Amino acid sequence: MKTFAVLFNPMDGNHLENFWPITKMIPRLFLRFLGNHRGAFKTQVMRSKRGKEIFGYFLPSPPNGVLTHDAVKAAAECAEKLRTDVLGICSGDGISYEKAQALSKQLDLAITDGDTFTAWAVFESLYRTVKQKNIDLSHSILAVIGADSTVGSLSAQKFAESTARIWLYGGQIQKLTLLRDRILQRNPSCAVLIESGLGRILKESDVIINIVDKEGVLFSTDELKENAIVCDVSLKGDLSERIGRQKDVTLIKGNLIRLPFTTNFSEKLGLPDNIVYACIAEAMLLAFEEKIVNYSLEEDINIDKLEEIANIAARHGFEVCVP
């Protein structure tokens, strides 16, 4: 039976207490000074649609901490001691691909950050939502906020196959330029523009994908186009709280996966029963599939990999959550 571990960065002290009840006795001010991975929360044995069985561990880090290489190393060493096969990293901070790959070889442990399955979840949830609303993407403007990230890049490339115009927004201009050229090479009929400000993007975009995962909201909901659809992929909840007040804007979470079995950890993650984030689901899928490789641990993931992870998910009964 294959096993997995997940390094999960809780959003706040309440989140942390779900995994480590003992932290209720520690003043919130001192939680950030806790060492990494004081304990591991063990899941129950889970059976996929194909009859494969796995179990795993959650390795929560102190809340609101930056995911450093040392934190990843500590998690990997802990996962190795627990004899797990795959370590999934679920955090919006990102990691160094080179250092994580080196660490994987050193410890003989597969590491993945879930970007591939997250990107597929974005595409599937948003595409089906657009279809439900009878929106023609070929006449729509789509914007990707955080297009210089791996998930943003994969999402933009996938939607370029059916969207008339894409706006790319992010802080790394060189990456955005390379992404624009790649999209145009593969889909020359798609207009791809790099924008340095959010004003025009928000006012004119019919569909917005938000990959940015930082505290605070990058934009105000009253700036959004009427009847716009916003797909939020961040792990924070503040964007949903803000957009929820604007009735003519549709907000969907683009990184949630429904599992084909009952879990003992979804509630601890602050999610509905049997729901997990796609970054966690990817580690689980690799264990079910017995595909012990650094699946998403590369900066330039081939877009065809989205179809592969989608097929693996279908085989084991994992479904993208769609409103």
Q: Which of 258, 255, 263 is CA-nearest to residue 317?
A: 258
User: What pLDDT score does 69 carry?
Assistant: 76
User: What pLDDT score does 29 carry?
Assistant: 47
The CATH superfamily of 117-253 is: NAD(P)-binding Rossmann-like Domain (3.40.50.720)
User: What pLDDT score does 104 carry?
Assistant: 86
Q: Is the pTM of this model over 0.75?
A: yes
Return residue ranges of the chain for CATH 3.40.50.720. 117-253
Q: Compute the distance between CA of residue 302 and CA of residue 253 in angstroms, rounded to an integer.
A: 24
Q: Strand 207-210 to strand 229-232: parallel, antiparallel, or no bridges (unpaired)?
A: parallel
**Conformational region of residue 247, where left means phi above 0, alpha means psi within -120 to 50, and beta covers everything else:** alpha
Q: Strand 229-232 to strand 141-145: parallel, antiparallel, or no bridges (unpaired)?
A: unpaired
Cα torsion at 109, 113, 117, 123 (round to 10°)?
Answer: -170
User: What pLDDT score does 224 carry?
Assistant: 87
- Other Cβ atoms less than 10 A from the Cβ of 48: the count is 21
Mean pLDDT of each 10-residue bin along the chain, 323 residues long: 86 56 50 54 94 92 65 86 92 70 87 95 95 92 94 96 94 95 94 90 92 62 84 70 66 93 87 93 98 89 95 98 83
Amino acid letter, residue 255: N
2-115+260-320 CATH: 3.40.50
